[in-house]
Structure 1
Amino acid sequence: MIKLIVGTKGTGKTKTLIEMAKKAAEESKGNVVCVEKGEKLVRELPNTVRLVNSEEYDIQGFACLYGFLAGFLAGNYDITHLFIDGTFKIGKIGDVEKDYEGFAYMVQCLAKLNTEAQIVFTVSCDASDLPVSVNEYIVK
């Protein structure tokens, strides 16, 4: 299951993700993973959540991010929740600030994976900027 927490800067997306990750850490019988650019959530999340700094892996674009996330899921069937904070920062390539189509394609590819894991993204933009193909995943 994929969920998108969408909103412009300062609308509480990361705070919502933190609360969801904390709840998942309490309730999950498997592994909870959070991917972010940098290490700002290290003090916000319990130590049972595996934090991954995307900067250590030189992710360039959403095709790379897809491979990175799919690799996590393929390599560890115990992952029940996968949280990605700052999606457009992680998936940025070159001078393109927000690759909406690349993001939508990545989401569609992730949706095809045979996984029980819940995948949650924070997406910094107005929901109307996203392609309609991802509307079903937006958390209201």
Structure 2
Amino acid sequence: MISLLIGSKGTGKTKRIIKLANEELKKAKGNIIFVDDDKRHMYDLKHKLRFISMDEYPVKNEDEFFGFLCGIISNDYDINKIFIDGLLKVMDTTLDAMPKLIEKLSAMSTKYEIDFFMTISCTKDQIHEDLHKYLVQV
């Protein structure tokens, strides 16, 4: 399952994804990964979540980021949820590249039974129409 939480900068997307990740930990049957662009929110998350700060890795675009996620998944078969805060900030990319990346993540989600929950700073009018089916209200 792919879920996208979108909204303008400063609308509380990060607080909502952190709250959701912490709540999911209580009922999780597998491991949960939380990916962020820096360590700013690391201490807001429960310690059992696997926190990854992308500022420690030389990932530059969506293909490298997808490969990075494949590496994480190949190392831990018990992952069942991956939260990504600020999808455009964890790599150097644009909204135009998102449909291709989300399509690849959707295939990975189905194959490995991993739910992806991501935030993107944009409005519904700015995001590609193909991605509207993944938009959620939290």
CA contact (8 A) 1:37 1:90 kept: yes
Q: Does 1:137 align with 2:123?
A: no
In the aligned structure 2, how far is the partner of 1:71 from the partner of 1:120? 18
In the aligned structure 2, how far is the partner of 1:34 from the partner of 1:103? 19
Q: 4+ residue runs of structure 1 moved beyond 6 angstroms?
A: none
> 2:78 aligns to what?
78
Query: Unpaired segments of 5 or more residues in structure 2?
Result: none
> 1:39 aligns to what?
39
> 2:113 aligns to what?
116
Scaled by the length of structure 2, what TM-score is found? 0.92
Instruction: Give CA deviations for 1:20-72 in whole Å, capped at 9, x if unaligned.
Output: 10111111121111011110121101100010011111110111111111222
CA contact (8 A) 1:70 1:110 kept: no
CA shift for structure 1 position 75: 2.5
Q: 1:84 is aligned with what amino acid?
A: I
Bigger shift: 72-81 or 7-16?
A: 72-81
Q: 2:126 is aligned with what amino acid?
A: D
Identity %: 30
> 1:96 aligns to what?
none
Structure 1 residues 14 and 5, CA gap change in structure 2 (3 angstroms): same
Q: 2:100 is aligned with what amino acid?
A: Y
In the aligned structure 1, how far is the partner of 2:72 from the partner of 2:125? 30
CA contact (8 A) 1:34 1:84 kept: yes
Partner-residue secondary structure (3-state), 1:123: strand
Partner-residue secondary structure (3-state), 2:92: coil
Q: What's the C-alpha RMSD, in Å, of the aligned pairs?
A: 1.2
CA shift for structure 1 position 73: 2.0
Question: May I ask how many residue pairs the two structures share in their alignment?
Answer: 135
CA shift for structure 1 position 100: 1.4
In the aligned structure 1, how far is the partner of 2:28 from the partner of 2:19? 14
Scaled by the length of structure 1, what TM-score is found? 0.91
Query: Unpaired segments of 5 or more residues in structure 1?
Result: 94-98
CA contact (8 A) 1:104 1:130 kept: no
In the aligned structure 2, how far is the partner of 1:132 from the partner of 1:115? 26
> 1:104 aligns to what?
99
